[in-house]
């Protein structure tokens, strides 16, 4: 006679589940610091994965020719430092970047923004404060 014993745990192994956060921003001159008269507009969409700490983003724009563009750290209405430079300036600007813990905290707490600069507005022509959808 043969017997088979199996031990089962009441608790499953805890595997951290990825939290995916959708992000958005309307990009325009009204959010720029200081505000300017540009009629250019744009949009930012992104997804942040808390397990991989990766941000996948897309930025579109019209009505301008950017000379430089990036994501800054900074709350709405304030200027901040460049956190994520964009290598490509052709709309749509797309990319995937792995964030630091500090960058992720800033991103998820409305302390990052998209900024597109031009020759007419070297300090920034249009801006979009990134928020959770």
Q: For the segment 25-67, what is each residue's pLDDT rounded down to a tens digit?
A: 999 999 999 999 999 999 999 999 999 999 999 999 999 999 9
Backbone angles phi, psi at 124, to 5 degrees: 130, 125
Give pLDDT, residue 131.
98
Higher pLDDT, 107 or 5: 107
Count structural domains, the chain.
1
pLDDT, position 14: 62
Domain annotation covers residue 89: yes
Question: Look-up: residue for tokens 């088979």?
Answer: 4
In a domain, 111, yes or no: yes
* Domain-located, residue 15: no
Q: Is residue 80 part of a domain?
A: yes
- Give the tokens for residue 17: 């589940």
Does some domain include residue 4? Answer: no
Q: Establish if 50 belongs to a structural domain.
A: yes
* Residue 55's CATH number: 2.60.40
Per the domain annotation, does 10 fall within a domain? Answer: no
Domain range for 48: 20-132
Whether residue 92 has a cis bond before it, omega within 30° of 0: yes
At residue 12, the pLDDT reads 53
pLDDT at 85 over 80: yes
Distance CA 46, CA 96 (A): 9
**125 assigned to some structural domain:** yes
């Amino acid at each position: 006679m043969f017997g088979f014993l199996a031990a089962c745990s009441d608790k499953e192994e805890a595997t951290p589940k990825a939290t995916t956060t959708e992000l958005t921003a309307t990009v325009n001159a009204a959010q720029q610091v200081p505000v300017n008269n540009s009629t250019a507009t744009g949009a930012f969409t992104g997804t942040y994965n808390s397990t991989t700490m990766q941000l996948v983003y897309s930025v579109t724009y019209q009505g301008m020719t950017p000379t430089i563009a990036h994501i800054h750290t900074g709350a709405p209405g304030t200027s901040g430092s460049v956190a994520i430079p964009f290598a490509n300036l052709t709309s749509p600007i797309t990319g995937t970047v792995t964030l630091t813990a500090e960058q992720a905290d800033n991103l998820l707490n409305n302390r990052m923004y998209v900024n597109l600069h031009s020759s007419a507005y070297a300090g920034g022509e249009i801006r979009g404060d990134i928020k959770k959808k």
